[in-house]
Amino acid sequence: MSMYIEDTIAAISTPPGQGGIGIVRVSGPDARSIGRRLFRFARGDDFASHHLHYGVITDDAGGDAIDEAMAVLMSAPRSYTREDVLEIHCHGGLLVVERVLAVVLKAGARLAEPGEFTRRAFLNGRIDLLEAEAVMDVITSRSEASLALARKQQDGALSRRIGAVRDSLRQALALLEAFIDFPEDDIGTADTDAIRNYVYRSCIDIDSLVSRFDEGRIMRDGIAALIVGKPNAGKSSLLNLLLGQQRAIVTHIAGTTRDIIEETASFGGLAVRLLDTAGIRHTDDVVEQEGIDRALECIPLADLVLFVLDMSRPFDHEDGLILSRLSGKTVLLVCNKSDLVVDTGLPPELDAFERCMVSSHTGQGIEELKARIRSTFLGAGVLDSREFVAISRARHRDALVSARQVLAGFLDGLAGGRELETLSIDLRDALDAVGRVTGETTPDDVLDIIFSSFCIGK
């Protein structure tokens, strides 16, 4: 990684998929010359920094036009990466944006690695490490909620929570070190109860932070919800209702959906990838069988299974086939066609699952279903809470998990009467792990606590 400051990188900086506009961003010393070569100005022939220019993007100097475009050059250091940054705003069709990127790469830029713009911003001192990580999350966030979380992290809420863990561990270490370094001072014998209490307290805090890690991941990455059900239970209608648009082809012919359809929606801030599957039944149709197999294969990968039951028909063998694959999964029963017939003859195995009554025909119950999906993962009102802190980076989680493991060993050792100086190694390791997120603990930090807690000195 020693070379990248020298070269010029480029990437599509708008999210993949259809959009009104697509942006190709170029950063590095050649950004301006690449821009001048590919961009045909409607007026003038060079960029004024931080001015939006209108023109045409071409496939090479004097070459064919690819698209109408707007282009802006932000000269170093007044840019996100503190390098020269060129942005080409073109029409949002994926093909067009990819074509523009291709000509930029051909003109001498290198395709950026994921997050490389932010890494440059960080390396060039534009932002610090925690900011950089939070910005990475902003870039990839797909919904308002993950934006909110990312912003909270930038504000340091996470740092404060982990800081509290660090403070408890420092107190414990100071107590322990005092009994090692000052055997002749009148400070009594090692207060193992107090040491244990400090460590317990930090373990509880770590556990709570780690358990929220999943919420953090869910808010950033969203969840995968698999819609399953026997043929013609109304899965595709449900998908369309949840999306609020016609996406899946809906017919009354069982087995219409043969592949898996994937769409993303946002329910109250939770990004949900909805996977619609082929109806599951015994079939002789090879294509349909393939779809069913894929649906069953998807079950273990899904965060949530929406099990659609056709309430106008009795629970039958095919429903049972699905049910047999759902053990251990988070399942929401979607009782469809509840407007047609009320058939309450459901088997007792289903009692364990939460259920929602909907009508994919009238749309009744859809909003409740969305709310239920959201609350299953995020808990009611949790997004509004100012206290909400989540660890949204695997790095943080790893640091806390490894600290937690070391501390478990520490507590065993303390109970088993292990030497203080080997116990101290555990505490220092835990502090180092936590320090990877919050900053280190120096020996002087520990001595400060000792001198302020004990009357030391001969």
Give the binding range for other proteins (CB under 8 A) out of 196-204, 329-337, 360-368, 415-423: 415-423
What sign does the dihedral 47-48-50-54 (CA atoms) show?
Answer: negative
Shortest reach from residue 48's CB to other proteins, in Å: 23
Task: CB nearer to other proteins: give 53 or 170.
Answer: 170
Would you count residue 124 as binding other proteins (CB under 8 A)? yes
* Residue of 352, 281, 273 lying closest to 310 (CA atoms): 281
Pairing mode of beta strands 110-111, 9-12: parallel
**CA–CA separation, 403 vs 113, rounded Å?**
31
Would you count residue 128 as binding other proteins (CB under 8 A)? yes
Would you count residue 380 as binding other proteins (CB under 8 A)? no
Contacts (CB under 8 A) with other proteins, residues 70-99: 82
Would you count residue 422 as binding other proteins (CB under 8 A)? yes
Shortest reach from residue 179's CB to other proteins, in Å: 8
**CA–CA separation, 252 vs 233, rounded Å?**
10
Integer CA distances (angstroms), 23 to 69, 87, 88, 89, in order: 10, 6, 5, 5
Residue 278 CB neighbour total at 10 angstroms: 28
Give the binding range for other proteins (CB under 8 A) out of 44-52, 147-155, 316-324, 443-451: 443-451
Task: CB nearer to other proteins: give 25 or 428.
Answer: 428
State the angle between helix axes of 420-438 and 157-181 in degrees (0 to 180), rounded to the nearest 10. 160
Shortest reach from residue 416's CB to other proteins, in Å: 9
Shortest reach from residue 108's CB to other proteins, in Å: 18
Report DSSP letters for 192-244, one per residue.
HHHHHHHHHHHHHHHHHHHHHHHHHHHHHH-EEEEEEESTTSSHHHHHHHHHT
Shortest reach from residue 407's CB to other proteins, in Å: 16
* Residue of 386, 15, 373, 371 lying closest to 222 (CA atoms): 373
Task: CB nearer to other proteins: give 62 or 188.
Answer: 188
Shortest reach from residue 428's CB to other proteins, in Å: 7
| Cβ atoms of 175 and 195 closer than 8 Å | yes
State the angle between helix axes of 144-155 and 129-140 in degrees (0 to 180), rounded to the nearest 10. 180
Would you count residue 408 as binding other proteins (CB under 8 A)? no
Task: CB nearer to other proteins: give 82 or 89.
Answer: 82
Task: CB nearer to other proteins: give 284 or 444.
Answer: 444
Would you count residue 188 as binding other proteins (CB under 8 A)? no
**CA–CA separation, 367 vs 356, rounded Å?**
10
Task: CB nearer to other proteins: give 45 or 186.
Answer: 186
What sign does the dihedral 165-168-171-173 (CA atoms) show?
Answer: negative
Give the binding range for other proteins (CB under 8 A) out of 104-112, 177-185, 202-210, 244-252: 177-185
Shortest reach from residue 3's CB to other proteins, in Å: 8
> And the tokens for 386?
């100012």
* Contact positions vs other proteins (CB under 8 A): 1-2, 5-6, 82, 122-125, 128-129, 177, 180-186, 419-422, 424-425, 428, 436, 439, 442-443, 446-447, 451, 455-458
